[in-house]
A = this chain, B = another copy of it.
Amino acid sequence: MPKKPDPDLTTRCADMLSAMGTEPRLRIMQLLLSAHPTGMIVGDIGSELDIPSSTLSHHLDKLKNEGLVKVRRDGTFLWYTANTDALKELLGFLFDECCSRNKAVKPEEVFQAGR
Contact = CB atoms under 8 A, between A and B. Distances in A.
Interface residues of A, number: 48
Interface string A68-105: 00000000000000101001101110111111111011
Contacts of A10: 23, 26-27, 30
How many monomers of this chain does the complex have? Answer: 2
- Secondary structure of the A side of the interface? helix
Given A11-B23, A26-B10, A105-B87, A98 B33 contact: yes
A63 to B, nearest CB: 13
A99 to B, nearest CB: 7
Contacts of A5: 30
Interface of A: 5, 10-11, 13-23, 25-27, 29-30, 33-37, 82, 84, 87-88, 90-92, 94-102, 104-105, 107, 109-112, 115
